[in-house]
Amino acid sequence: MLKIINLSKKFKDKTILNKISTEVAFGEISLFIGKSGVGKSTLLRILSYLETKEEGTIHLNDKHINPLDVGMVFQNYHLFEHLTCEKNITLALQKRLKKSKKEATMISDQLLEKYMLKDKTHRYVTSLSGGEKQRLAIARSLALSPKIICLDEPTSALDPTLTSHVAQIIQDLGANHIVLIASHDTELIRQLWLRKANCTINLIDSGDLTESAKLIDYFSNPSNFPKIHKFISGE
């Protein structure tokens, strides 16, 4: 269980996150929605140790979270373009986890095959399509066996026709991880609902977590969650 308690963040005098509290169980997807600039991505960056917090606690199974427990998939992927797909995965395995080249390559092979990139093993990142780059970024994040996967705006850099495919990948990740997503893509929400994903929607507005709903509860009766409904319907 991931527990976030009273998490706050400021940039100078501007409050980005204001005492955010939430819990996410293993096997659950937690989707943070809201307009651009409300703090969704900052929350994921704090979880990934890419930003510091002003106050609050983050615990995983009642212990302080370890950076290796979190895998981050960035909005623009931040892959190493001067390296091959294989090297993008094996680098951290060898440098961070001290795996042998043979072990790292074996893990890379398994992940590249799983994410339909086996034929791209020795290709450079610059030769990949947007969807392929995203799958490589996910494979790279999974290489270190994190318990938590964070995805920042996973559909923003892709053709809208790929949203359904992204939703399936997210659901698959959710079966074996705690998954946190920052997004304002209402079609992604609908696609997750169509797959009956174990997902909670959290609306962030001006740094405050203003409303939460289980996906199935929201679509069963949207009027019970007026703030989320207003955002999703574009009112």
pLDDT averaged per 10 residues, the chain (length 235): 97 93 97 92 95 96 93 90 96 95 97 95 95 93 96 84 89 95 93 94 95 97 96 85
Distance CA 231, CA 185 (A): 10
The reply to whether CATH 3.40.50.300 applies to domain 2-80+146-233 is yes
Closest CA to 39 of 27, 26, 54: 54
User: Sign of the C-alpha dihedral, residues 167, 170, 176, 177?
Assistant: negative
Tokens 């909670």 identify what position? Answer: 200
What pLDDT is recorded for position 235? 67
Angle at 98 between CA 93 and CA 99, to 5 degrees: 60
pLDDT on residue 161? 79
Whole-prediction pTM: 0.92
**Distant-in-sequence contacts of 9-17, Cβ < 8 A, 24+ apart:** 9/39, 9/42, 9/46, 9/51, 9/52, 9/53, 9/54, 9/207, 10/54, 15/206, 15/207, 16/42, 16/207, 17/42, 17/43, 17/46, 17/53, 17/207
182, 43 Cβ separation under 8 angstroms? yes
CA distances from 167 to 35, 191, 199, 202 (A): 20, 6, 11, 17
